[in-house]
Structure 1
Amino acid sequence: MPRDQPDWIIERRRDLGERIADLRAAAHHTQETFCATTGISRSTLQRIEAGEADPRYGDLLRIAAALDKSISTLVDPPR
């Protein structure tokens, strides 16, 4: 992945991916079942959860809906 973004953005992207993966697992979804529910390809979900891709807004909406969470729960770090 090119390092064309500041470290803090790369860190936040990784945090977001970890949070999505943790919430997905807590909801008892495999990547396969989650992808079927959201319509997001497995390769895209893998890249998002690994912090290698910036999810599109539509993807965040679908992820949040499938997890019954708000987008802010996904993107805001816990306090």
Structure 2
Amino acid sequence: MQEFRERVSNLKEFSSELIQSDILNPHYQQKFDIVFSVGLIEYFDVENTRKAFLNHLQFVKTPGVLIVIFSTPTFLYRMTRFLAEFLDM
């Protein structure tokens, strides 16, 4: 996680903040232009999946973007994984 934080912080085009927290019991109040989540929500039962998704939304500014990627072998997942591996992330 620390290595990923360092890589993200070195990007010059935009500012970013990487947050690791419990999405079912978030204790973070700030809102962001983009919230990006990969390979998390599919591990919850139906009730907690809904709660996790709604909790993601509370961190998105209006207007803003929420990107949630499920780790299933879809085209988007394979491309995201390829890029992450290519960038050695």
Question: Comparing both structures, which one devotes a greater share of its residues to strand?
Answer: 2
- Larger-gyration structure (1/2): 2
Superposition TM-score tier, normalisation by shorter sequence: under 0.3
TM-score of the aligned structures, taking structure 2 as reference length: 0.23
Considering Cα pairs closer than 8 Å and 6+ residues apart, tell me whether 1 or 2 has the greater RCO. 1
TM-score of the aligned structures, taking structure 1 as reference length: 0.26
Question: Comparing both structures, which one devotes a greater share of its residues to helix?
Answer: 1
